[in-house]
Amino acid sequence: MRFDTPATTNPIDQGKVVGQRIHRIDGPLKTTGRAVYAYEWHDPNTHYVYGYVVGSAIAKGRIGSMDVSAAKRAPGVLAVVTSDGIGDLKKGKYNTAKLFGGTEIQHYHQAIAVVVAETFEEARAAAALVKVDYAEEKGVFDLEATKDTAVKPKDGEPDSAAGDFDAAFETAAVKFDQTYTTPDQSHAMMEPHASIAAWNGDELTVWTSSQMIDWWRSDLATTVGIDKEKVQIMSPFIGGGFGCKLFLRADAVLAALAAREARRPVKVALPRPFLMNNTTHRPATIQRIRIGAERDGRITAIAHESWSGDLPGGGPEVAVQQTRLLYAGANRMTATRLATLDLPEGNAMRAPGEAPGMMALEIAIDEMAERLGLDPVDFRIINDTQVDPENPERPFSHRDLVGCLRTGAERFGWQDRTKQTATRREGSWLVGMGVASAFRNNLLVPSGARVRLDREGIVTVETDMTDIGTGSYTIIAQTAAEMLGVPVDKVAVSLGDSRFPVSSGSGGQFGGNCSTAGVYAACVKLREAVAQKLGFNSPDELTFAGGEVRVGDRRMPLAQAAGDEPLVAEDRIEFGKLGETHQQSTFGAHFVEVGVDVATGETRIRRMLAVCGAGRILNPITARSQVIGAMTMGVGGALSEELVVDKERGFFVNHDLAGYEVPVHADIPHQEVIFLDETDPMSSPMKAKGIAELGLCGVAAAVANAIYNATGIRVREYPITLDKLINELPEVS
Residues catalogued as catalytic: 693
| Amino acid identity for residue 596 in this structure | V
Query: How far is CA 593 from its chain centroid?
Result: 26
| Amino acid identity for residue 124 in this structure | R
Q: What is the Cα–Cα distance from 467 to 363, expressed in whole angstroms?
A: 34
Instruction: Find out whether the peptide bond into 344 is cis, omega within 30 degrees of 0.
Output: no
Tell me if residue 501 falls in helix, strand or coil: coil
Q: Give the number of other Cβ atoms within 10 Å of residue 183's Cβ.
A: 19
Query: How far is CA 109 from its chain centroid?
Result: 24
Asked whether the beta carbons of 611 and 408 are under 8 A apart, the reply is yes
Q: Which of 585, 591, 623 is nearest to 400 (CA)?
A: 585
Distances (CA, A) of 19 to 3, 410, 687: 21, 25, 11
The radius of gyration computed from the CA coordinates of the chain, to the nearest angstrom, equals: 27
Residue-by-residue DSSP string for 591-636:
EEEEEEETTT--EEEEEEEEEEE-BB-S-HHHHHHHHHHHHHHHHH
Q: What is the Cα–Cα distance from 196 to 259, expressed in whole angstroms?
A: 9
Tell me if residue 37 falls in helix, strand or coil: coil
Q: What is the Cα–Cα distance from 112 to 118, expressed in whole angstroms?
A: 20
Q: Which of 292, 252, 76, 72 is nearest to 167 (CA)?
A: 292
Distances (CA, A) of 319 to 103, 244, 358: 34, 18, 8
What size, in residues, is the chain? 733
**In which element (H, E) is residue 82 found?**
strand 77-82
Q: What is the Cα–Cα distance from 317 to 156, expressed in whole angstroms?
A: 8
Question: CA end-to-end span of the chain, whole Å?
Answer: 69
Distances (CA, A) of 383 to 138, 360, 403: 48, 18, 14
Asked whether the beta carbons of 110 and 101 are under 8 A apart, the reply is yes
**In which element (H, E) is residue 70 found?**
helix 69-73
Residue-by-residue DSSP string for 504-568:
--S-TT-HHHHHHHHHHHHHHHHHHHHHHHTT-S-GGG-EEETTEEEETTEEEEGGGGTTTS-EE
Asked whether the beta carbons of 691 and 612 are under 8 A apart, the reply is yes
Maximum C-alpha span of the chain: 85
Q: What is the Cα–Cα distance from 731 to 733, expressed in whole angstroms?
A: 6
Q: Across the strands, what pairs with 594?
A: 432, 605
Asked whether the beta carbons of 609 and 698 are under 8 A apart, the reply is no
Distances (CA, A) of 109 to 279, 550, 652: 9, 62, 10
**In which element (H, E) is residue 638 found?**
helix 620-639
Q: What is the Cα–Cα distance from 292 to 300, expressed in whole angstroms?
A: 6
| Amino acid identity for residue 191 in this structure | E
* Torsion sign over Cα 578, 583, 585, 587: negative
With a CB cutoff of 8 Å and minimum separation 6, the contacts of 208 are 38, 194, 195, 196, 216, 233, 234, 235, 251, 252, 255
